[in-house]
Amino acid sequence: MAVSTKNKSEKTEPKPLPRVRLELVDICGRLAQAVDFPRSVGQIYGLLYLATKPMSAPEISSALSISKGSVSMGTRQLLALGFISKVWLQKERKDHFEAVLELGDLIRSAYDSIFKVRAQNAERRLGDMVETLAEEKGDLSPEEYALIKERLQRLVKLQKRARQFLPLLEKLIK
Domain ranges, ordered by start, for the chain: 19-101, 104-173
Q: What is the per-residue pLDDT for 18?
A: 87
Residues 80-117: pLDDT tens digits? 988 999 998 888 888 999 999 988 888 888 888 778 88
**pLDDT (average), residues 108-132:** 87
Instruction: Tell me the CATH class for 19-101.
Output: mainly alpha
pLDDT tens-digit readout, 38-61: 999 999 999 999 999 999 999 999
Measure the CA–CA gap between 96 and 51, rounded to whole angstroms: 12
Going by C-alpha positions, the residue among 69, 2, 8, 15 that lies closest to residue 47 is: 15
Three-state DSSP at 143 gives: helix
What is the pTM for the complete model shown?
Answer: 0.68
How many CB atoms sit inside 10 A of residue 151's CB? 10
The reported pLDDT for the residue numbered 93 is: 85
Comparing 72 with 174, which gets the higher pLDDT?
Answer: 72
Collapse the DSSP code of 11 into the 3-class scheme (helix H, G, I; strand E, B; otherwise coil) and give the result: coil
